[in-house]
Chain A
Amino acid sequence: DGGITQSPKYLFRKEGQNVTLSCEQNLNHDAMYWYRQDPGQGLRLIYYSQIVNDFQKGDIAEGYSVSREKKESFPLTVTSAQKNPTAFYLCASSSPGQLTQETQYFGPGTRLLVL
């Protein structure tokens, strides 16, 4: 079955530590996205990538980094520069086209907690 997977489901970060969240999709989608969601809030865009080896900053990119070396994979690194990383992180993908028009399909999410 096609879909998006994220791992781990829960992640604990110590002070000053970089952590990487995994996102993999087998939907053959070109575009991938990372969002952050705080409790009771909406989705805020961190980074997005429309094609392999290219990505753009979203609204809250500071303290985060990404790579897009493969079409299927879009890992997100939360660096030590991100002082308040506790949140629910969602990865999504879409296939821009006339019919789908950027409809996004989401992975199950990763909850990041700071120790």
Chain B
Amino acid sequence: QQPVQSPQAVILREGEDAVINCSSSKALYSVHWYRQKHGEAPVFLMILLKGGEQKGHEKISASFNEKKQQSSLYLTASQLSYSGTYFCDLSIGDAGNNRKLIWGLGTSLAVNP
């Protein structure tokens, strides 16, 4: 039931692009993406809702494919500050109150100069 994140780790040079995927075996209602820097708490990046459009935040954007039960996070022209572990948190269920939140295991991203 736990979402599968891929890749588990990625190393980039500054300015390169990366894609992180999060797949579920259950129907998704929403997807949250968070970034956690070493020794700190996770910080919310963006949310994608069922039926919603692709979201973007500066050079970080995400998509939500309901049919494939998958979300992807796109990091373009990476900066050193993008380094950290990226987590997807899936809301599985329906539009009512009967939903469950499940976290992925994370993707470690390192951006080098």
> Which residues of chain A have a CB within 8 Å of any CB of chain B?
41-45, 90, 96, 100-109
A102 touches B42 (CB 8 A): no
Not counting A96-B97, A100-B47, a sample of 13 additional A-B residue pairs whose C-beta atoms are within 8 angstroms of each other reads A41-B105, A41-B106, A43-B87, A45-B103, A101-B47, A101-B91, A102-B91, A102-B101, A104-B32, A104-B34, A105-B44, A106-B43, A109-B40
B49 touches A101 (CB 8 A): yes
A42 touches B105 (CB 8 A): yes
Judge if B30 is at the interface, Cβ distance under 8 Å: yes
Most buried by B among A96, A105, A106, A108: A106
CB-CB under 8 A from A101, the residues of chain B are: 30, 47, 49, 91
Task: Tally B residues with Cβ within 8 Å of A.
Answer: 20
CB-CB under 8 A from A103, the residues of chain B are: 32, 44, 47
Distance, CA A74 to CA B49, complexed state (A):
28
Known: A101-B47, A101-B49, A102-B101. A42 touches B41 (CB 8 A): no
How far in angstroms is the closest Cβ of chain B from A67? 22
CB-CB under 8 A from B91, the residues of chain A are: 101-102
Which residues of chain B from 1 to 57 have a CB within 8 Å of any chain A CB?
Answer: 30, 32, 34, 40-44, 47, 49
